[in-house]
Structure 1
Amino acid sequence: MNPSTALATVLVDELVRRGVRHAVLCPGSRSAPLAYALQEAERAGRLTLHVRVDERSAGFLALGLAKLTRVPAVVVTTSGTAVANLHPAVLEAHHGVVPMVVLTADRPVELRGTGANQTTVQPGIFGDAIRWSVDADAPRRTTGEVARWRQVAADAVRHATGATGATGVGEPGPVHVNVQLRDPLVPTDDEPWPEPIDERPSEPTEPTEPTEHTEAVVAAAGSATTIDVSREPARTVVLVGDLPEPGQFEAAVRWATARGWPVLAEPFGTHPRRDVIPHGPLVLSDPRWLDSHAPQRVIAVGRLTLSRPVAALLRRPGVRVEAVGAHAWIVSRPDVQQVHPISVFDAPVEEVHGGGGTAPRDEVWSEAWRAAGERLAAALAEDEPPWNSGAAVAEAVLAGLPVGATLFLGSSNTARDVDLSGPRRGELRVVASRGLAGIDGCVSTASGLALADSSPTYALMGDLTFLHDSNGLLVGPLEPRPDLTVVVTNDDGGGIFTLLEPGEPARARDFERLFGTPTGVDLAALCAAHDVRHEQVLTRDQLVDALAERPSGLRVLEVRVDRGGHRDLHDQLRQRAAAALQA
């Protein structure tokens, strides 16, 4: 066995033994030893291998595979620009707290800086966006190598899952293992390796099951500093944003409602939400109502990235803002008065942090918030948005999804349309890439969710988000295909900008080319080129009926809407909200 084959075999073996169950491989020459090792592991039934020809899409596929399972997926590339193409996914994994192992093949160190083909300085290429990295020297035929390689793989999984520090639980995220490989890069009939290739470390190495890891992360989080609520302002509002660990959303809402505080939440996490005030951004959008019901304190839980009214509340003069993040980096913000690490997610709902006192509350004031949400929901339910709008598509998707579905939301308008929609009655989990909230890799991330889970999986995104990752549709005939239905709200361009300052009527002269950016792409033809089912949806009932069909393979449902009506529709929503709140 030659050195490169030996190294790849040991690395893959130890990654699997440490719990890895999915790997995404991009073809390349320098990474060939890793490709052969992954193929053998799949043949043995030890992991599932996914091959993709686009490294950027591959990185987001790995992110999607790990996002809900919380078990790191491995993405493997060859050297050079292939590595750089992973950077967007690495950044999202970093900010979104998603475990991922980036395994990149490299030329030997002596070729760096010499102009050698496909050679750059790969160590450090991802900067501070990784939890841990190693530049593994090219292997040589010496003893002691197997133990060293196994330690590299073990450390990679440990840091990716956040199993570090004094408590054994830190911040999950991406890690980078850069491996120098010399020729020969394919298996050869060399002399036997000088030590047993399957030699195991002495410590226990049984892989951690996904549910056990998730429970360990949530449970250990409770050891952090807690919030003393016994001496705090009575008029407290809790805002819940995106949270990385399954179960955190429900626990945060239980913690807040047990104390009688009104809760507003972004759409990410589980549904239905009986204890969350519906149409939260619209409740906050009426300055007259908010002035007469202003909170003394706001507790911000997780990442809040969607709504300008929410951001304005966090900046409101005289309001004390405290942040509760799932991990320390989330709450390192200059605009908050106090910072609390994760502390509310594992406490029994009947227990009050801070010595067993009673959380202060203004029951009349809290009830006014809840009543406002109920009035608003009733008023908006009387008049559905026009069908040629993203808001109507979002309402139809929420109504049509089967019980127990998973819905991935693209960035930009679709996430905001769902945020403004009425409450979902059936069981649903909503997921999005809100680490950096970019439109990168959304088709691939949704595909990863579908491949990692048996629940019916859907995605809702705009046409630019869809086109930005159209290579996510490129799944070869030999690969496992995700069972995923993608609903594309096609307004032929950047509809989000119609709601922002560039979309103001006074700036119409320059809008279309600089921000509207129409593409005119024939989505049906694009899907046909990838052998993906496409259906043009013309009515709400047609969309609801199509969503009732359980996803089988890739399918795209295209709904065309009018981008020009976005701004007026949102203005009308705010006006109706103000009228309902003042009633």
Structure 2
Amino acid sequence: MKLTPASNISLLWGQLIIESLVRNGVEHVFIAPGSRSTPLTLAAHAHPNVVLHTHFDERGLGFFALGAAKALAAPVAVITTSGTAVANLYPAVIEAKLTQVPLIILSADRPEELQQCGANQAIDQVGIFASHTVWDINLATASTQIPANYLLTQVEQGLFIQQQQAGPIHINCKFREPFYAKQQSQDLSHYLASINPWLISGAPYLQKTTGSSSIPPLSDWAELQQQRGIIVVGRLTQIEQAQDLAAFAQSLGWPLLMDIQSSGKGHPWALNYYDQLLHHPEFVEQLNQAELVLQFGDRLVSKRLLHFLSQTRARLIQVQPHLDATSPNHIMGQYCCAEIEPWLLAHPVNQHQPWGAALYQADQAMAQLIGQQGYELTEFSVAHSLTRLAPDNSALFIGNSLPVRLMDMFAEPNSKQQRIFTNRGASGIDGLLASAVGVATILDHRPTTLLIGDTSLLHDLNSLALSSQLQSALVVIALNNDGGSIFNLLPLPDDEAVAEQCYQLPHGLDFANAAKMFGLQYVKPCSQQEFELDYAAALIEPGITLIEICVPAKQSSEMIQHLATQVPQLEL
């Protein structure tokens, strides 16, 4: 490998950092404009093995990269200039930490002599992300007095830690002027002598390994298979995991409860409408016959399921590939830190103990009740039909607040393979559009659909500008109920004026002019049939198509509450 000739040490350090990332598997780099970050930006731009993505808004850029890293299941790098540009990445970094997404933050910074002296665009960036990274370092200022070995060792140590504990890392890079090629020039050939073997090798600088990753089986696994168990599946990162777990549950004969984030909710063996059925005393009584709950994945959407798990007397065993605590009800149980595939291989099924036929009969009764809700265009009808309408092998990104709850409660089961993405770490409404664009950018051979609320879309409106970078279709379905309709499901103050002013925040806006401003295709269907036709047409249009569904503010909350009163009356 031969570096591009660098005229100053700052540019050379930028090249070494980017080359180190590439040798450790990084292919995609996301940048926002800035001057101090020039050494990193030019190095990324010039590298033949880097795919470059840009956004003018650092907050959106962070989520853009987050979505891409989720779709890749691999690290991506983010480059920003100094100052508040770095701080704008904070929400995306928090989400990445909570959902174990490998972001690499490269922040440019001023050297020591320009700190705390009133220098422009200089803030304290050391440890700026606090506990929301798995590793961070404040590099020494780029200098010929500091060997290149130091730089490579520090950067690759962070990458190694990230491989062991998925999550964001932060590398703060201090550059002293000059850092433009046209400025002062130096002969730096002698500086690289100490790393010549690395330059020639094409391999990472540090080649570390860890101990055995074999999974010890549960000592009483043979006995456990003879019990009445249920399988609960939360957020997964790969659709193949959902398929493997469904087959595992079916071979055991145990009921299967799959969260919408598992990408397997519609499997024929899954109980699709358990959230609503938990309103039914007989269903709860049947479910309470379980002696064992085996949970894979985390961050369940259904509050009713979380409550059930906190009340059941069944033994809990949870398998997840990270060390973070993910039991909000602090349930006593056995927690296994392991990847799903090797855990399943270590626990072959040799007992078939089917039970829970009444649970599946209840699920069918609930499906019939949902089918009786009519075909009027509503948030409910969109959420219920979306998995049926979305193509096989496509991606669905589901926004927070009401959309993800509607999908988890009511999505129609089907046999299609659809990758489901969410940002359910901090469950924020910021950056959802940018994250969906990141997913669509990586999965450019298949369409992506984003189901998002109006307030969430307003929060990230400028990320509509990313449409020009898309080669495939991203269909944005905006559920416009004029504000935060989710609050209608909560026990707000009886004074409607207070509820509106402090919680729902009605805005009275639509998105037609926003679509026009960003040059997007825009439709506003008036019926479910129109929506389905518009959606089918949008799936073949490159770039973003915005489909706006305008509904009364209380429509969904009233429908959910009405269904909740009907569920206990079902004959199971």
TM-score, structure 2 as length reference = 0.89
Match of 2:76 in 1: 73
Indicate the SS of the match to 2:198: coil
The Cα shift of 1:19 comes to 1.4
Q: Conserved in 1, the CA contact under 8 Å of 2:380 and 2:406?
A: yes
Indicate the SS of the match to 2:191: coil
Q: Conserved in 2, the CA contact under 8 Å of 1:410 and 1:462?
A: yes
Q: Conserved in 2, the CA contact under 8 Å of 1:28 and 1:77?
A: yes
Q: Conserved in 1, the CA contact under 8 Å of 2:452 and 2:477?
A: yes
The Cα shift of 1:221 comes to 6.4
CA distance in 2, matches of 1:334, 1:154: 38
Report the residue type matching 2:447 in the other structure: P
| Cα distance change, pair 293–100 in 1 and its aligned pair in 2 (3 A) | closer
Report the residue type matching 1:299 in the other structure: L
CA distance in 1, matches of 2:292, 2:200: 48
Match of 2:483 in 1: 493
The Cα shift of 1:315 comes to 1.8
The CA deviation string for residues 245-290 of structure 1, in whole angstroms up to 9 with x for no partner, is 5533333333333222211111123344112111120122213431
CA distance in 2, matches of 1:138, 1:174: 22
CA distance in 1, matches of 2:345, 2:11: 57
The Cα shift of 1:424 comes to 2.5
Match of 1:300 in 2: 295
CA distance in 2, matches of 1:270, 1:468: 26
Q: Conserved in 2, the CA contact under 8 Å of 1:385 and 1:391?
A: no
The Cα shift of 1:332 comes to 6.4
1:17 matched to 2:23: yes
Q: Conserved in 2, the CA contact under 8 Å of 1:130 and 1:174?
A: yes
Indicate the SS of the match to 2:554: helix
Q: Conserved in 1, the CA contact under 8 Å of 2:473 and 2:541?
A: yes
Match of 1:52 in 2: 55
Match of 2:221 in 1: 229
Q: Conserved in 1, the CA contact under 8 Å of 2:394 and 2:446?
A: yes
Q: Conserved in 1, the CA contact under 8 Å of 2:446 and 2:473?
A: no
CA distance in 2, matches of 1:476, 1:292: 49
Q: Conserved in 1, the CA contact under 8 Å of 2:320 and 2:340?
A: no
1:534 matched to 2:535: no
| Cα distance change, pair 343–31 in 1 and its aligned pair in 2 (3 A) | closer
Taking the TM superposition and a 5 Å limit, the aligned residue runs for 1:260-409 are 260-271=253-264, 272-294=266-288, 295-316=290-311, 318-331=313-326, 335-343=330-338, 345-347=340-342, 352=347, 358=351, 361=353, 363-364=354-355, 366-381=356-371, 383-385=372-374, 387-409=376-398
Comparing 418-427 with 224-233, greater Cα deviation is found at 224-233
1:249 matched to 2:242: yes
Indicate the SS of the match to 2:446: coil
The Cα shift of 1:292 comes to 4.6
Q: Conserved in 2, the CA contact under 8 Å of 1:256 and 1:262?
A: yes
CA distance in 2, matches of 1:172, 1:139: 28
Q: In structure 1, which of residues 196, 201, 204 is the aligned counterpart of residue 198 of structure 2?
A: 201
Question: Which sections of structure 1, spanning at least 5 residues, go unmatched?
Answer: 163-169, 208-215
The Cα shift of 1:132 comes to 1.1
Question: Which sections of structure 2, spanning at least 5 residues, go unmatched?
Answer: 1-6
Indicate the SS of the match to 1:436: coil
The Cα shift of 1:338 comes to 1.7
Match of 1:132 in 2: 135
Indicate the SS of the match to 1:151: helix
The Cα shift of 1:104 comes to 0.1
CA distance in 2, matches of 1:50, 1:184: 25
Q: Conserved in 2, the CA contact under 8 Å of 1:451 and 1:483?
A: no
Find runs of 4+ consecutive structure 1 residues off by over 6 angstroms: 348-351
| Cα distance change, pair 174–203 in 1 and its aligned pair in 2 (3 A) | farther
The CA deviation string for residues 497-536 of structure 1, in whole angstroms up to 9 with x for no partner, is 111222x7x4534211111111122311112122222211
Indicate the SS of the match to 1:328: coil
1:258 matched to 2:251: yes
CA distance in 1, matches of 2:408, 2:28: 32
Report the residue type matching 2:417 in the other structure: E
Report the residue type matching 1:471 in the other structure: N
Q: Conserved in 2, the CA contact under 8 Å of 1:401 and 1:544?
A: no
Q: Conserved in 1, the CA contact under 8 Å of 2:67 and 2:436?
A: yes
Indicate the SS of the match to 1:501: coil
The CA deviation string for residues 512-562 of structure 1, in whole angstroms up to 9 with x for no partner, is 111111112231111212222221122212222222232411211111112
CA distance in 1, matches of 2:221, 2:259: 24
CA distance in 1, matches of 2:298, 2:145: 49
Report the residue type matching 1:155 in the other structure: Q
| Cα distance change, pair 143–516 in 1 and its aligned pair in 2 (3 A) | closer
Match of 1:155 in 2: 157
The Cα shift of 1:61 comes to 0.5
CA RMSD between the two structures: 2.8
Match of 1:166 in 2: none
Q: In structure 2, which of residues 60, 63, 67 is the aligned counterpart of residue 64 of structure 1?
A: 67
The Cα shift of 1:118 comes to 1.4
TM-score, structure 1 as length reference = 0.87
Match of 1:416 in 2: 405
The Cα shift of 1:425 comes to 3.4
| Cα distance change, pair 85–200 in 1 and its aligned pair in 2 (3 A) | farther
Identity of aligned residues (%): 26
CA distance in 2, matches of 1:351, 1:417: 36
The Cα shift of 1:196 comes to 3.5
The CA deviation string for residues 446-480 of structure 1, in whole angstroms up to 9 with x for no partner, is 00001111221111111111111112112386x55
Match of 2:3 in 1: none
Q: Conserved in 2, the CA contact under 8 Å of 1:222 and 1:342?
A: no
Indicate the SS of the match to 1:322: strand
The Cα shift of 1:133 comes to 1.1
The Cα shift of 1:81 comes to 0.8
The Cα shift of 1:437 comes to 1.4
Q: Conserved in 1, the CA contact under 8 Å of 2:396 and 2:418?
A: yes
The Cα shift of 1:140 comes to 1.4
The Cα shift of 1:53 comes to 0.9
CA distance in 1, matches of 2:145, 2:19: 19
Report the residue type matching 1:376 in the other structure: M
Equivalenced residues, count? 552
Report the residue type matching 2:45 in the other structure: Q
Match of 1:564 in 2: 554
The Cα shift of 1:231 comes to 3.9
The Cα shift of 1:312 comes to 1.3
CA distance in 2, matches of 1:573, 1:293: 21
The Cα shift of 1:4 comes to 0.8
Match of 1:165 in 2: none
Report the residue type matching 1:558 in the other structure: E
| Cα distance change, pair 259–204 in 1 and its aligned pair in 2 (3 A) | farther
The Cα shift of 1:15 comes to 1.3
Match of 2:439 in 1: 449
The Cα shift of 1:205 comes to 5.6
CA distance in 2, matches of 1:311, 1:555: 36
1:7 matched to 2:13: yes
The CA deviation string for residues 395-435 of structure 1, in whole angstroms up to 9 with x for no partner, is 23222211211000000111111112221332212111111
| Cα distance change, pair 202–341 in 1 and its aligned pair in 2 (3 A) | farther
Q: In structure 2, which of residues 543, 549, 552 is the aligned counterpart of residue 553 of structure 1?
A: 543
Q: In structure 2, which of residues 467, 476, 500 is the aligned counterpart of residue 512 of structure 1?
A: 500
Taking the TM superposition and a 5 Å limit, the aligned residue runs for 1:211-222 are none
1:475 matched to 2:470: no
CA distance in 1, matches of 2:344, 2:217: 17
Q: Conserved in 1, the CA contact under 8 Å of 2:296 and 2:319?
A: yes
Indicate the SS of the match to 1:518: coil
Report the residue type matching 1:187 in the other structure: A
Q: Conserved in 2, the CA contact under 8 Å of 1:489 and 1:559?
A: yes
| Cα distance change, pair 395–342 in 1 and its aligned pair in 2 (3 A) | same
Q: In structure 2, which of residues 464, 467, 474 is the aligned counterpart of residue 484 of structure 1?
A: 474
Report the residue type matching 1:565 in the other structure: Q
Q: Conserved in 2, the CA contact under 8 Å of 1:227 and 1:343?
A: no
Match of 2:38 in 1: 32
